[in-house]
Amino acid sequence: MKYSEQLYRQVCSIWQSYETHPFLLGLFDGTLPIEKFRFYMIQDYLYLLDYAKVFALGIAKADSIEEMQFFSQNVHQILHGEMEIHRSYMQRLGISDQDAAQASIHPANYSYTAYMLKEAYQGGVPEILAAILACSWSYADIALHLSERYPQAISHPFFGEWVAGYASQSYQATNQSLIDRLDIAAAHLSKTTLEHLSQIFQACSRYELGFWDMAWNEQA
């Protein structure tokens, strides 16, 4: 069994709760109140700024030019790909760049990104991959599973762009490249290190659930 498959089994119950979460069900069935989505979009925009920094630390800690290029490409994809979806929605929601820059980061959001950055600073490439993968992989997983349950979601006039972005082949492929890289790294790591990576992955999965709770409750 691949190491990534072991990780998936360990967080299966947490990830299943994503797919029954009222925020995500509302997003996919089209009933999510726009104000909740607006709050989520601002917080996720702030999250992605730090998420990109975690990838950037991978450049600094890489052991080869190829590895540096890998993390560099992911930083570019976040800042010029994933965040473009956010900027599109922010424009439609009347959120200016100044509004986003001046927004207060929610404590649940701050705790999550601070944890990822701590593990990235203190660890190496494997710790960075474990920290970022819970977000990347769970979004890919959510998009695939809920798109199957709600096939009309991708064509929704407002939420469809979000669904399409994370269900796209390009996003799924990018996520798979992270999984593959962690599996390759895991083959050369000690049991103690693998257990630590598992702890990181599980913690970030719990933080993801807290993020959805925060978005649903609109707790500013």
Query: pLDDT per residue over 48-79, tens digit each?
Result: 999 999 999 999 999 999 999 999 999 999 99
CATH number at residue 173: 1.20.910.10
Which active-site residues does the annotation give? Answer: 135, 208
pLDDT of residue 219: 57
Query: pLDDT per residue over 78-130, tens digit each?
Result: 999 888 889 899 999 999 888 888 999 999 999 999 999 999 999 999 999 99
What is the span of the domain harbouring residue 101?
A: 3-217
Quick one: which of 101, 133, 147, 121 has its CA closest to 6? Answer: 133
Six token digits for residue 92? 């439609």
The CA–CA distances, whole Å, from 81 to 73, 78, 142, 174, 219 equal: 11, 5, 19, 11, 28
Rounded to the nearest 10°, the torsion over CA 49, 79, 212, 121 is -40
Residue 151 has pLDDT above 60, yes or no: yes
Least confident range of 87-91, 150-154, 179-183: 87-91
Q: Do residues 41 and 86 make contact, with C-beta atoms less than 8 angstroms apart?
A: yes
Alpha-carbon gap, residue 206 to 211, rounded angstroms: 9
Domain count, the chain: 1
